[in-house]
Chain A
Amino acid sequence: MVSIVYATIAVFFLGSILAFLIGHYFKKWASFWVAAITGLLGFLFSCYIALNLGEKPIIHHFNWFSFGHFKVPLGIYVDNLAIIMALIATGIGFLDIIFSRGYMEEDESPERYYFEKLFFIGSMVGLVFVSNLLGLYIFWEGVGLCSYLLIGYWYWKKSAAEAALKAFVMTRFGDVFMLAGIIVAWVFLGTINFQELNGLALAGVFSVKLGLIISVLLFIGAIGKSAQFPLFPWLLDAMEGPTTVSALIHAATMVNAGVYMVARLFPFFDYSHALIVVAFVGALSAFIAATGALAHTEIKKILAFSTMEHLALMFVALGVGSAVAGVFHLMNHAIFKALLFLAAGAVIHMTHHTKDAFKLGGLLKYMPQTGFLFLVGILALAGVPPFNGFFSKDWIIASVYEYGNPVIFWLTFIAAVLCIAYGFRLWFVVFTGEPSENSKHAKEAYPIMLVPLYVLAAMTIIIPFFKEKIVHFLAGGEVHEPFFLNLLVATLTVMFVLFGIVFLVYYKRVISTAKFLAHPLGKGLNEFLYNGWYVDAAIKWLCRYVFYGSIAKAIEWIDIFVIDGAVNGVAKLSLACWDRCRKIQTGDVIDYLTYFVAGVVVLVLITIFLV
């Protein structure tokens, strides 16, 4: 069983290299077949592990290297949480690879794409299977690297290259804090194994302040990776990459790594009283994201803000104490967000790379199936009853209500009900109304692109039937789900009202937003929300004036004048000495004799008086 786990991780890395070599030296699209087979194999392995996972998790440790008494351990720890995430990663990854055969048809070197994609899936699977913080960090950086490579896939575009760099640097900034947290944990607690850390937390052997420090440091890394406030602007710029990349990495897999880490260390965070921090950050990010999505016009940017909002909802769920709700929502979100991104990819590809929603319209006539599938995704996103989004989102809202903090509750509630508003705004603008020039040239998506969409849409409908089983599997036992009837009714009512407003504005076109936007208050509000509450601008200002302008320039001054000055000063000093001492060698032998005799005198004096 242990070997199957290692094989699952290894098959992706081997497949990536194989796909690249075969695609580079044989036919290009042979790499697709290798990638598809690898993806399918990985998914089947994960299913096998899931079916055969008994009560006990699969554990295996080994010593990576050690010097003296200092040992660096690595290993795997596969339990229900890990296998669920692996299933998500491999399953959605496989569907994404199938879809990308249609989406990347114009690409010149698909072997590079499949190499990076498979490497990414392998790193993600490794991330969830590994048993301690060090392995997590290694694979964390692995997925970060693949994210950088894939965002900047079309590297000749300046915007793409800059976006890739921004993503990498911003997540790296968070990772530095995470590394600090790992080191603090290793030094002060002596272990970085997840189970041992949780065990220490449950036993309560260390101070709450130390736990809080470690938890906050680790959580800053999660903030970077999962695009929460304040490290979220990279997620918007990451939409420069191909849409399949956005679907897999920035919706379904990599951004979930932060949630996974907090869920893994849930007892640790609980003991350290750090969960309240998690909940607040989550609530604030959700509010920023939901309001920001209302102001944007590009399809993918709206979906990116939506991703950020749902991740924030997951963090809120973890923060108020119901980890099962968070992970369940993670699973549902991966499915419907991947569906939405892939459908958006189909739209963008078929309309010859039109990214702005307001440049399209009336697309339902030309792409009926895609439009229908997109609608399914939007309904799941908004949390409309028979789809899977409703169940997990409602659970989260009920848990927050039960927790009781009013600030968190209102921020989360408003963010949750705004989903239906921006979701349907997007759908109405793209698919209904007068067709624009770009829409008229569109054709229906290829079958190879439609099949994964149907599979994902089917899953959004089927999963609610298996909700009990899935929750039981996740929690490893019975779990309490809070249920407040009045809250449910209130939520659904507000959502219906918002749907009505959006229906009137964007479908019936009865009320127009032009007057609102012309008014300076409206315009200012729109600008504020559009720029992500100016967090991006603040970060840029901070980097330019504080980090670069002050600190970096000061250090540069020290480097040039103090350090180099010292080195050059030594050289100048020796040159000056040489210049003086050179004059002793006059060439006149009598002078040399003089020095000789003087030296003898001095030596004799030293010998008499000092020795």
Chain B
Amino acid sequence: MLLEADVHAYLFLSFSLLAVGVYGLLSRKSVIRMLFAVEMIINAANINFVIFSAQRNIDGEVFTFFTIGLAALEAAVGLAIVIVFYKRFGEVIPSKIKNLRW
């Protein structure tokens, strides 16, 4: 075990990745960046699962398997949406989504 770190350090890693992901989600770059950001958030949650699993029991690790699989699936679906978005609007700026007004 080359990495020796405190639980708090790992949690700090997880939350900082979450912070970066939230930043990417809310800043209005292209929709593909938002997809990257979602993947980052999911990975942050996975790290959280794993670190607690390393302390307690194995169920956290098992759950992470499922999470990874599902996240991949969701990424695929999201990319399909992005492609449709591009076909509709011609560009990938998220400000184009404005139909939820009033």
Q: How far is the CB of A69 from chain B (nearest CB, A)?
A: 60
Q: What chain A residues lie within 8 Å of B94 (beta carbons)?
A: 588-590
- Contact among B22, B28, B99 with A587 in the assembled complex (CB-CB below 8 Å): B99
Q: What chain B residues lie within 8 Å of A587 (beta carbons)?
A: 97-102
User: How far, in whole Å, are A582 and B102 apart by their CA atoms in the complex?
Assistant: 8
Q: What chain B residues lie within 8 Å of A593 (beta carbons)?
A: 25-26
Interface of B (DSSP majority class): loop
A597/B102 contact (C-beta < 8 A), A588-B95, A588-B97, A589-B94 known: no
Q: How far is the CB of B83 from chain A (nearest CB, A)?
A: 18
A586, CB-defined interface residue at 8 Å: yes
A486, CB-defined interface residue at 8 Å: no
User: How far, in whole Å, are A590 and B25 apart by their CA atoms in the complex?
Assistant: 8
Closest to A592 in B: B100
User: How far, in whole Å, are A590 and B28 apart by their CA atoms in the complex?
Assistant: 7
Tell me whether A597 and B98 are in contact (CB under 8 A).
no
A63, CB-defined interface residue at 8 Å: no
A585, CB-defined interface residue at 8 Å: yes
Q: How far is the CB of B17 from chain A (nearest CB, A)?
A: 15
Tell me whether A585 and B26 are in contact (CB under 8 A).
no
Interface residue count for A (Cβ, 8 Å)? 11
Tell me whether B26 and A597 are in contact (CB under 8 A).
yes
Closest to A582 in B: B102
User: How far, in whole Å, are A592 and B97 apart by their CA atoms in the complex?
Assistant: 11
Q: What chain B residues lie within 8 Å of A585 (beta carbons)?
A: 100-102
A52, CB-defined interface residue at 8 Å: no
Q: What chain B residues lie within 8 Å of A582 (beta carbons)?
A: 102
A3, CB-defined interface residue at 8 Å: no
User: How far, in whole Å, are A590 and B102 apart by their CA atoms in the complex?
Assistant: 15
User: Restricting to B1-44, which residues have a CB under 8 Å from any CB of A?
Assistant: 22, 25-26, 28
Contact pattern, B 59-102, Cβ under 8 Å of A = 1, otherwise 0: 00000000000000000000000000000000000110111111
Q: What chain B residues lie within 8 Å of A590 (beta carbons)?
A: 25-26, 28, 94-95
Q: What chain A residues lie within 8 Å of B99 (beta carbons)?
A: 587
Q: How far is the CB of B84 from chain A (nearest CB, A)?
A: 15
Interface size class of B (residues with CB under 8 A): 10 to 19
Contact pattern, A 22-43, Cβ under 8 Å of B = 1, otherwise 0: 0000000000000000000000
Q: How far is the CB of A13 from chain B (nearest CB, A)?
A: 67
User: How far, in whole Å, are A589 and B95 apart by their CA atoms in the complex?
Assistant: 8
Closest to A591 in B: B26
Q: What chain A residues lie within 8 Å of B97 (beta carbons)?
A: 587-589
A594, CB-defined interface residue at 8 Å: yes
User: How far, in whole Å, are A59 and B73 apart by their CA atoms in the complex?
Assistant: 98
Q: How far is the CB of B96 from chain A (nearest CB, A)?
A: 9
User: How far, in whole Å, are A587 and B100 apart by their CA atoms in the complex?
Assistant: 5
Contact pattern, A 569-590, Cβ under 8 Å of B = 1, otherwise 0: 0000000000000100111111
Q: What chain A residues lie within 8 Å of B101 (beta carbons)?
A: 585-587
Q: What chain A residues lie within 8 Å of B95 (beta carbons)?
A: 588, 590
User: How far, in whole Å, are A594 and B28 apart by their CA atoms in the complex?
Assistant: 11
Tell me whether B100 and A589 are in contact (CB under 8 A).
yes
Q: What chain B residues lie within 8 Å of A592 (beta carbons)?
A: 100
User: How far, in whole Å, are A585 and B100 apart by their CA atoms in the complex?
Assistant: 8
User: How far, in whole Å, are A357 and B35 apart by their CA atoms in the complex?
Assistant: 110
User: How far, in whole Å, are A587 and B102 apart by their CA atoms in the complex?
Assistant: 7
User: How far, in whole Å, are A597 and B100 apart by their CA atoms in the complex?
Assistant: 18
User: How far, in whole Å, are A594 and B95 apart by their CA atoms in the complex?
Assistant: 14
Q: What chain A residues lie within 8 Å of B26 (beta carbons)?
A: 590, 593-594, 597
User: How far, in whole Å, are A593 and B34 apart by their CA atoms in the complex?
Assistant: 11
Q: What chain B residues lie within 8 Å of A597 (beta carbons)?
A: 22, 25-26
Q: How far is the CB of B72 from chain A (nearest CB, A)?
A: 22
User: How far, in whole Å, are A478 and B48 apart by their CA atoms in the complex?
Assistant: 114
Q: How far is the CB of B18 from chain A (nearest CB, A)?
A: 10
Closest to A589 in B: B97
Q: What chain B residues lie within 8 Å of A586 (beta carbons)?
A: 98, 101
Q: What chain B residues lie within 8 Å of A589 (beta carbons)?
A: 94, 97, 100
Closest to B95 in A: A588
Most buried by B among A586, A590, A592, A597: A590
User: How far, in whole Å, are A305 and B95 apart by their CA atoms in the complex?
Assistant: 93
User: How far, in whole Å, are A592 and B101 apart by their CA atoms in the complex?
Assistant: 11
User: How far, in whole Å, are A586 and B95 apart by their CA atoms in the complex?
Assistant: 11
Q: How far is the CB of B9 from chain A (nearest CB, A)?
A: 21
Q: How far is the CB of A473 from chain B (nearest CB, A)?
A: 90
User: How far, in whole Å, are A592 and B98 apart by their CA atoms in the complex?
Assistant: 11
Please list 27 pairs of residues, one from A and one from B, whose beta carbons are closer than 8 Å in the complex, sorted by A's number: A582-B102, A585-B100, A585-B101, A586-B98, A586-B101, A587-B97, A587-B99, A587-B100, A587-B101, A587-B102, A588-B94, A588-B95, A588-B97, A588-B98, A589-B94, A590-B25, A590-B26, A590-B28, A590-B94, A590-B95, A592-B100, A593-B25, A593-B26, A594-B26, A597-B22, A597-B25, A597-B26
List the 8 shortest-distance A-B pairs measured between CB atoms, nearest first. A587-B101, A587-B98, A589-B97, A594-B26, A587-B100, A590-B94, A590-B28, A585-B102
Extra contacts besides A588-B98, A593-B25 (19): CB < 8 Å: A585-B101, A586-B98, A587-B97, A587-B99, A587-B102, A588-B95, A588-B97, A589-B94, A589-B97, A589-B100, A590-B25, A590-B26, A590-B28, A590-B94, A590-B95, A593-B26, A594-B26, A597-B22, A597-B25
